[in-house]
Amino acid sequence: MLTKIKILSFTLFISFFLAACSTKDIKPKVPFETITPKLDLTTLSNSANDNFLDQNLASNEFFIKYFKPWSSSKLSYPKNEAMWGISYKNKKIYLENHQLASKEWFDKVIKNTNFEEYNLNVKKAITLKNTNVRVMPTNSPFFYNPKLPGEGFPFDYNQNSLIKINTPLIVSHLSVDRAWAYVESHFVGGWVDINSIAFVDEEFINEFKTSNYFVSIKEKFPIYDPVFREYVKIGSIFPKRGEKFIIASNDENQNAKITYIDLNIDEIEKMPIKYNSENRVKILNSLLEEPYGWGGLLNNRDCSSFTQDYFTVFGKYLHRNSKAQTTNGKYLDISNLTLNEKKDFIRKNAVPFSTLVYLKGHIMLYVGEKENEPLVAHNIWSIRLKDKNKQEFRHIIGKATLTTLEPGIELEGFEENSNILKKVQGITILN
């Protein structure tokens, strides 16, 4: 089977050469390319276990979690946890103009949170489009010092996550200016733009819950209602009634109403799609090369939304952040092993396409091995390197790609302290 994987070693070599200054001597390449190696994904996928989960049972559990906001009477966590973002006022936060946020600026944003109304005016809602979830009710980014390597764009710490179109929500309350709603979905809570949601009633909920659900298997295709509505991401869910698919739209009072649209057969399949070799490769290829997006910024993915969306189509529920995803299966701690012992352990115990590899702040999908090297698929921003003066900088990858567990080892400035494999703490075999 043909894949869309491209060999990027030459372009990475050139970009590194230009970015790191032309006076550097480039180390000879190691024989095995560690970033985007040339692979036969079908061969790797054939070594996976087609029966690693009961898909019907898993998808039933998935939809219980997915619709939980509509069966709840209030948000699931206490007010003090919902207010955690206010702690940013005590940090040096740079805004979109790279100027420090003032105390007065933060005081104004905090006042707008209206948390005295938390869980007192609960409503049910649904997303009308792919929706940014903000830590605080403002579109302004929160950057740490943008001059430091690994800070600034795309690391907007006010971006909590992204919720896909058609996702059920429970609403705690509105901000003072009524421009924002504090919500909880099946996996994340935070502030959303009021214009990105519509309020639902029991009649809408009963009509929306058809028990016949389809999931998008193609990335960023447009849908229309009748004008353009959204670019749909893999893992978006659409109830089906007859030959039509349901999306929510809103009336003049911001109440939800059922709208029927057409979708193409190459864009969507009944959920869960069959967990077989062909589909594993198809979904992975659809996700590879997609840009990195911290917390879903710019309608993109970070590492944990990459793994979450990959398994959604198969009916397997994963939590949203990397640490939490280690609890979605059997976790095996390998933090005290040497580099070679870690590789050997992963080769012997990890199951291709159903094992997550975890290090603090990052998660990867194990896909098998080539030439005795364990290989992973992940969405990664950069590799840490050092220049001749031992100053740290970032070699940007900025997309979903395939690598070894030691990406960049062939690049000048690579140091063992920055080796991803050294930081790997464990693997989770999904069940």
Q: What is the DSSP string of 206-260?
A: HHH--S-EEEE-SSSEEEESSSEEEEEPTT-EEEEETTEEEEEEE-TTSBEEEEE
CB neighbour list of residue 428: distance below 8 Å, 6 or more residues apart: 325, 326, 327, 328, 329, 330, 331, 332, 355, 356, 358
Domain holding 406: CATH number?
3.90.1720.10
Of the candidates 127, 157, 125, 129, the residue with the CA atom closest to the CA atom of residue 141: 157
Q: What mean pLDDT is reported for the chain?
A: 92
Residue 2 lies in a domain: no
Regarding whether 282 and 265 lie in a shared domain, the answer is no
Mean pLDDT of 54-65: 97
Residue that is last in its domain, among 213, 238, 270: 270
Regarding whether 192 and 92 lie in a shared domain, the answer is yes
Instruction: Identify the domain containing residue 123 by its residue range.
Output: 56-270
Question: Which two structure tokens, joined as six digits, stand for 275?
Answer: 């967990």
Mean pLDDT of 310-338: 97
pLDDT of residue 36: 83
Residue that is last in its domain, among 228, 245, 270: 270
Q: Name residue 168's beta-bridge partners.
A: 126
Regarding whether 33 and 69 lie in a shared domain, the answer is no
Residue 4 lies in a domain: no
pLDDT tens profile 173-199: 999 999 999 999 999 999 999 999 999
pLDDT at 25 over 80: no
Regarding whether 221 and 151 lie in a shared domain, the answer is yes
**Which CA distances in Å does 272 have to 65, 241, 287?**
15, 17, 17
Counted domains in the chain: 2
Mean pLDDT of 401-406: 97
pLDDT of residue 157: 98
Question: Which two structure tokens, joined as six digits, stand for 161?
Answer: 């996550």
The Cα diameter of the chain in Å comes to 68
Regarding whether 321 and 266 lie in a shared domain, the answer is no
Regarding whether 260 and 218 lie in a shared domain, the answer is yes
- Residue 427 CA to residue 350 CA, distance in Å, equals 7
Residue with tokens 């659900």: 213
Lowest mean pLDDT of 4-18, 22-36, 56-70, name the range: 4-18
Residue 347 lies in a domain: yes
Alpha helices by DSSP H, listed for 20-166, are: 41-46, 55-66, 68-71, 79-82, 103-112
**Which CA distances in Å does 217 have to 56, 112, 222, 284, 289?**
18, 39, 13, 10, 15
Give yes or no for a contact between 353 and 280, defined as CB atoms under 8 angstroms apart. Answer: yes
- Residue 298 CA to residue 274 CA, distance in Å, equals 30
Mean pLDDT of 19-33: 43
Regarding whether 85 and 160 lie in a shared domain, the answer is yes
pLDDT of residue 398: 96
pLDDT band at 31 (very low <50, low <70, confident <90, very high): low
In the sheet that 213-216 helps form, which strands lie side by side, from edge to edge? Answer: 256-261, 244-250, 237-241, 213-216, 268-270
pLDDT tens profile 245-256: 999 999 999 999
Residue 232 lies in a domain: yes
pLDDT band at 37 (very low <50, low <70, confident <90, very high): confident
Mean pLDDT of 252-281: 97
pLDDT at 12 over 60: no
pLDDT at 6 over 60: no
pLDDT at 63 over 50: yes
Residue that is last in its domain, among 252, 270, 288: 270
pLDDT of residue 87: 97
pLDDT at 10 over 60: no
Return the SS3 of 367: strand
- Residue 292 CA to residue 302 CA, distance in Å, equals 6
Mean pLDDT of 97-126: 98
Residue 404 lies in a domain: yes
Question: Which two structure tokens, joined as six digits, stand for 58?
Answer: 């898993």
